[in-house]
Amino acid sequence: MDVFFYITIIVALTLMYNAYEKKKSYEVKAKEIELEHKKVEVEKLRLEKVILEEKE
């Protein structure tokens, strides 16, 4: 009975660790996407500024 208890604890801790690692990787991916979005917005603003300067 004791062996099964320890095996259950080890499996539970392993599953919790794997879930935590996946959560971290998803958060990193979300931040990378957000950063890329901000870069695109900055580039759009630069292009709009260049177009406005050319019109003048």
Q: Residue-wise pLDDT tens for the chain (56 aa)?
A: 799 999 999 999 999 999 999 999 999 999 999 999 999 999 999 999 999 888 87
DSSP letter assigned to residue 1: -
pTM: 0.63
Buried b or exposed e, range 12-49, using 16+ CB within 10 angstroms? eeeeeeeeeeeeeeeeeeeeeeeeeeeeeeeeeeeeee
Domains in the chain, number: 1
Which structural domain, as residue segments, surrounds residue 34? Answer: 1-56
Task: Output the pLDDT for position 1.
Answer: 74
In whole angstroms, give the CA distance from residue 24 to residue 27.
Answer: 5
Task: Output the pLDDT for position 54.
Answer: 86
Task: Output the pLDDT for position 55.
Answer: 81
